[in-house]
Structures are given as C-alpha cells and as structure tokens.
Amino acid sequence: MFVKMKSIQESETIYTELMIPSYANFGGKVHGGVLLSIMDKVAYVCATKHSGSYVVTVAVEGVEFLSPVEVGDLVTVKASVNYVGKTSMIIGMRVEAFNPRTSQSTHTNSCYFTMVAKNDDGSLKEVPGLLLQNETELRRFCEGKWLRENAKQKRETLKGDLLQFTAVQLHEMLKTDNCKIIN
C-alpha cells in the first residue's frame, strides 16, 4: 500500500548556475564532472521534495555530453519525478546551456537519475505514489518503468552472458579490439 499520492508539480525543480572559470578543463570547456555534480544535487532536491526524506543516488542512465558547455554559460537543469517504485524514484533531467552574449540556448544532455529514499536509521523508506495528470506524465511514467526493467535485465544478461564464455573464447572475441592480453 502506497503512503499517499503526490503530483509531479509538487517536486519539480529548476536550477540555474553560472559556469565560472574554475569549472573549466585544460581545453577551456566545463568539466563533465562539474555538470554531473550539479545534476546530482538537483536530482537530490527533486527526490527529497517528493519523498520528504533523505535520499541516495543509486544509478544514472543515459548521460551523454552532446555539445560542450562554455565558461560564462548559464546552465539550467530541469528535474521532475518521472516514475516511482516502492522506495525508488526515477528523476528525469534536462540540461540546457544558455550563452548570454548570443542568447542561444543549447540542449546539452537529458538523462535519468534513480534515487532511493531512506529513513534516518538508513533503512529504506516508502515513497508517495505519483498522480499522473496528463498524457506526457503517463508516457514518462511508462518510460521509467520500461527503463528500470530493461536496466535490470541488461545487468543480469551481461553477467550471465559473460560467464558462459571460456577465457579462450573471450580472447578470440577481443582480437580486433584495442587491447593486449598479457596473461
């Protein structure tokens, strides 16, 4: 039995941060790790608002940095709860970089953070269900459910599939890859 239901709007989170010079890598672009750290914090805020508790990050799916982010850009992260299980929440994240000089906005990344709610003693905490109020919310919930089942299946398949090969077969499979097996 779910604790109670909450709307997606109640926890929607939008955060904007200026990309300062100390965030840059040697190529002058913003480090991917800086963006991940900002995204993790925004996912935390969104999930903690929905669950009303402390949360932890369990998995991140689909992070791809499609275009570089420049120093001076204003990065906006939009986060909403797309799917909830019993104790977990999938937070959909959209990242945009706005260049204030050109007024150009670039969609740099969309991904999913899975967060799990915890009680103060570290035990898992049940989260409120989601009230789905339109077709977009319904589709996102279904995507989340699919993503979760698919990710679990992929992890299990990968473990099982690799176990069935002998070391000799693995050597054979990697013979055109960029590696050298030395024992």
- Binding residues vs ligand COA (CB under 6 A): 56-59, 85-88, 114, 116, 124, 151
Q: Which is nearer to ligand COA, 75 or 89 (by Cβ)?
A: 89
E-only strand ranges, 32-178: 54-61, 74-84, 88-99, 104-118, 129-131
Q: How far is the CB of 61 from ligand COA (least distance, A)?
A: 8
**How many angstroms separate the Cα of 85 from the Cα of each of 26, 44, 81, 119?**
41, 16, 11, 16
Q: Which is nearer to ligand COA, 88 or 108 (by Cβ)?
A: 88
The Cα 175–Cα 181 span in angstroms is: 9
Q: Which is nearer to ligand COA, 19 or 128 (by Cβ)?
A: 128
Q: How far is the CB of 126 from ligand COA (least distance, A)?
A: 8
Q: How far is the CB of 82 from ligand COA (least distance, A)?
A: 13
Q: Which is nearer to ligand COA, 32 or 68 (by Cβ)?
A: 32
Task: Give the nearest residue (CB) to ligand COA.
Answer: 85
64's CB contacts (< 8 A; 6+ apart) are: 109, 111
Specify the 3-state DSSP secondary structure of 146.
Answer: helix
